[in-house]
Amino acid sequence: MSLDCINNTVILKYYAIKFIGREIYMENKKVELKERKDIPKEYTWDLESMYKDIESWERDMEEVGKRAEEYTKYEGKVGESAETLLNALKDRDAIYRTASNVYSYANMRLDQDTRVGESQALLDRALAVYVKVQESTSFLIPEILQIDEEKLNRYYEENNQLNIYRHHLDDILRQKDHVLSTKEENLLAQMGEITSAPEQIFSMLNNADMRFPTILDEDGNEVEITQGNFIPLMESKDRNVRRAAFKALYDTYENFKNTYAQTLNGNIKKNIFSARVRKYKSSIEASLKQNNIPLSVYDNLIRSVHNNLDTMYKYMDIRKRALGVDELHMYDLYTPMVKDVDFNIPYEQGKELVIKGLHPLKGEYMEVLQQGFNDRWIDVYENKGKRSGAYSSGTYDSKPFILLNYQNTLDSIFTIAHEMGHSLHSYFSKENQPYIYGGYSIFVAEVASTVNESLLLDYMLKNAKDDGQRLYLLNHYLEQFRTIVFRQTMFAEFEKLIYEHAEAGNAITADFLSNTYMELNKKYYGPDIVIDNEIAMEWARIPHFYYNFYVYQYATGYSAAVFLSRKILTEGDIAVERYMDFLKSGSSNYPIDVLKKAGVDMTTEEPVNNALKLFKELVDEVDQLI
């Protein structure tokens, strides 16, 4: 099934590792958030290119519902001929293609202002029709599984058009033991709205309803903590600001710990139920096998990171010395170690910096990159009610849109590069693959984004004005490793532990979640940092725990990207050509094999170990410069 399918979180969104600020800072002066209508059009995404008005959207909604009802004409007949099988697959794709447009538009429309009741209603209706589509097409895969291999091979010979679906059909047959009867699949499809509830509840609570205390910023001004401005506050040079923001945010989560625990517990139980009814041994197996990823990849990642924790401990010691503090605390992790280096870069300058940094990719990549900047792919600035964070999203028929909440910070510049990596991957996939393979696996999703970040960082390091700026950028590089490789692996281990706990029949409580999370922080960060009690509640604010074993792919993807970016910089055109082939492959093969085409074998420990070797080299260099 295409990645537009609801089983892959409906429309793939790729969230930045760090939350981006909710307050806009211009020349270090705070600016009040604007209403949506007051943001200049050129800095908003072009959703009108999907639907010019609600009436157009309504027509597609009606069409999807009608075609979903008509699709039942194939029930009981899918395998009777090559022509019927082909038509059933083509008609299914057409329905999902329109349904994904309907859903994606409603979802992005809500994200641009989550306060708008009309947009919430559109999303609810879009989700309902998506569930209806799933229900109406739920018989297809069980009937395909009833076609024996000899007959299917004969069908390929009888109708050449069917060959386009060969990999897709092979993938279905691979999962034969985990597909239920038509009646059972239909019942599961009808549960779609119910099973999405934990994530929706978390999103509304976390993004729309949660309110945090007001603290004093560096200038003594009162500032209300939000999901978006938390990380900029944690980057403050004033330790009192960092400490106050840290305590205020996590103390607030503590007040809601049981609600968050039960919301996450509901999501865990949903995934355990799904895995068991589909005859998987565990939830993690159910998740990884969807993309044909060996379980060893997950375990290898955790083992490799565990084997290199001594380098993380050394980095914590360096950070402690660089900041000149008697005790290093968790609220000291995001502030730059280097003093008096301030990147204050407005969006237009940041955009040009990204273009220069990605120049090694040359040719068509750079042409499409420029197109994205000029053609309103990006929703740049925050407005009141806008969803926090950053992501790339869209459908086979739409522009590969990007949601930002741009600050004038170094982090925001790298977020542009990151999300553009996702969007260009989407662009090249759908331009070179048919709809059925026009998306790409979550497993490879973070590769293109991180290649862009690595290339941009290389450019900035080469053009650093002095040792101070170079040290600042190296610190940023180390933070990428800490937050993407180490922290996301810690998240992955946390997921593994809590699912194993639940699958063994134990209760998921707020205390269990907090204690487990606290112990992992102690393991990953080591003896040279005070693991503040408040960090035990961090699990409550992480949206990725609702994506079912998603986060490990940040670490594996980053490792693969470090390898590829080094190849692009050292080998030039040959490596770029291989990389472009990877971007254009979509989901036409299994993700492990698609990455092998680019020259990376993630079934081995080599890519992760090589990335961690680079981390050690960077830590040693910074140790010499501090």
> Residue 14 has what pLDDT?
32
* Nearest of 555, 377, 345 to residue 456 by alpha carbon: 345
342 pLDDT tier (thresholds 50, 70, 90): confident
Instruction: Name the 3-class secondary structure at 365.
Output: helix
Question: Dihedrals φ, ψ of 441, to 5°?
Answer: -65, 150
Question: Does the pLDDT at position 2 exceed 50?
Answer: no
The alpha carbon of residue 588 and the mean position of all alpha carbons in its chain are separated, in whole angstroms, by 21
419-444 per-position pLDDT tens digit: 999 999 999 999 999 999 999 988 89
Helix H or strand E segment including 137? helix 117-137
Question: Does the pLDDT at position 60 exceed 80?
Answer: yes
| Mean pLDDT within 78-84 | 97
524-580 per-position pLDDT tens digit: 999 999 999 999 999 999 999 999 899 999 999 999 999 899 899 999 999 999 999
In a 13 Å sphere around the CA of 390, the CA atoms on its Cβ side amount to: 30
Q: Which CATH architecture has domain 280-333+442-626?
A: Orthogonal Bundle (1.10)
pTM: 0.80
Beta bridge partners of 222: 216
Question: Does the pLDDT at position 309 exceed 60?
Answer: yes
Sequence-separated (6 or more) residues with CB below 8 Å from residue 616: 308, 311
Q: Is 58 a catalytic residue?
A: no
d(CA 568, CA 66): 49
Question: Dihedrals φ, ψ of 62, to 5°?
Answer: -65, -40
> Residue 10 has what pLDDT?
35
**Parallel, antiparallel, or unpaired: how do β-strands 222-224 and 401-403 relate?**
unpaired
How is 2-50 classified by DSSP, letter by letter? -TTSGGGTSS-----SSPPPSSEEETTEEEPPBPGGGS-GGGS--GGGT
83 pLDDT tier (thresholds 50, 70, 90): very high
Two tokens, residue 537? 């509640």
> Residue 15 has what pLDDT?
32
Percent of the chain whose predicted confidence (pLDDT) is above 90: 79
How many other C-beta atoms can be found within 10 angstroms of the C-beta atom of residue 467? 11
Instruction: Name the 3-class secondary structure at 360.
Output: helix
| Mean pLDDT within 27-55 | 85
Sequence-separated (6 or more) residues with CB below 8 Å from residue 78: 84, 85, 88, 139, 140, 143, 144, 147
Beta bridge partners of 391: 403
In a 13 Å sphere around the CA of 365, the CA atoms on its Cβ side amount to: 27
Question: Does the pLDDT at position 66 exceed 50?
Answer: yes
Active-site residue (options: 23, 419, 453, 538): 419
> Residue 595 has what pLDDT?
94
At 468, the amino acid letter reads G
**Parallel, antiparallel, or unpaired: how do β-strands 222-224 and 214-216 relate?**
antiparallel
555-567 per-position pLDDT tens digit: 999 999 998 998 9
94-126 per-position pLDDT tens digit: 999 999 999 999 999 999 999 999 999 999 999
CA angle 451, 442, 3 (to 5 degrees): 120
What fold, for 38-200?
Butyryl-CoA Dehydrogenase, subunit A; domain 3 (1.20.140)
> Residue 449 has what pLDDT?
94
Mean pLDDT rounded to a whole number for the chain: 91
Instruction: Give me the residue spans of the domains in the chain.
Output: 38-200, 280-333+442-626
**Parallel, antiparallel, or unpaired: how do β-strands 29-31 and 214-216 relate?**
unpaired
| Mean pLDDT within 470-489 | 92
Q: What is the CA radius of gyration of the chain?
A: 24
d(CA 295, CA 77): 37
Residue 185 burial (CB < 10 Å; 0-12/13-18/19+)? buried
In angstroms, how far is the first alpha carbon of the chain from the final one?
51
Question: Does the pLDDT at position 205 exceed 60?
Answer: yes
d(CA 205, CA 304): 36
31 pLDDT tier (thresholds 50, 70, 90): low
Two tokens, residue 590? 């299994």
* Nearest of 284, 232, 208, 217 to residue 547 by alpha carbon: 284
Question: Does the pLDDT at position 54 exceed 80?
Answer: yes
| Mean pLDDT within 310-320 | 97
Question: Dihedrals φ, ψ of 170, to 5°?
Answer: -60, -40
179 pLDDT tier (thresholds 50, 70, 90): confident
Two tokens, residue 198? 């934990």
